[in-house]
Amino acid sequence: MAAAPCVVDTSAWIEWLADTALGRRLGKEFPERSQCIVPTIVQLELSKWLVREVGEEQADQVIAYTQKCVVVPLDTAVALLAADLHREYKLATADAIVYATARRQGATLLTCDAHFDGLPGVALFAKTHGEGGCADPGACPPS
């Protein structure tokens, strides 16, 4: 388990929850709950994916688990930083919010989303062909 604060991106949560080969590798990097930072936008994306893929009851259980982590709501400081990061790195809005949350919290961003490749403070676990539930374009939430 990682000892430093870490924001786990929606893509990493999905791989872990889907128990893919990539998800099992990522799971070894998941922080303890006290160090696991969950932006509220990640809760939104996770809930949408879970309800669609496994149903409302399991979605509620996973969201309850995330609430035992460090939940960080979208506030003005994160929103303005996200706008700057969107312009600088050409990130989609949700990705910019997740990345801004990690930057504001001084945390590493754990992700399998190639949109974050090369950005400072990002631990990217790249998917190989056929690995991971997000290889299917319909399996990942929109960026």
Q: What is the pLDDT of residues 1-15, one digit of tens each?
A: 447 999 999 999 999
* pLDDT in the model for residue 127: 83
pTM for this predicted structure: 0.87
- Residues 6-47 have pLDDT tens digits of 999 999 999 999 999 999 999 999 999 999 999 999 999 999
Instruction: Give the number of other CB atoms < 10 A from CB of residue 112.
Output: 29
Any domain includes 138: no
The total number of structural domains that make up the chain: 1
Kindly state whether residue 70 falls inside one of the protein's structural domains. Answer: yes
Give the Cα separation of 97 and 92 in Å (integer): 9
Report the sign of the C-alpha dihedral through residues 65, 142, 51, 124, in that order. negative
β-pairing, 6-8 vs 122-124, is unpaired
Q: Does a structural domain hold residue 142?
A: no
CATH of the domain at 66: 3.40.50.1010
The pLDDT of residue 50: 97
Which range of residues forms the domain containing residue 118? 6-130
Is residue 117 a part of any domain in this protein?
Answer: yes
Among candidates 2, 10, 4, 15, which has minimal Cα distance to 99? Answer: 10
pLDDT band at 96 (very low <50, low <70, confident <90, very high): very high
Region 119-123: mean pLDDT is: 98
Region 83-87 average pLDDT? 99
CA distances from 109 to 2, 12, 51, 132 (A): 12, 10, 25, 18
| Residue 78: pLDDT over 50 | yes
Is the pLDDT at 58 greater than 60? The verdict is yes
- Across the chain, what does the average pLDDT equal? 90
Q: Decide if 143 is inside a domain.
A: no
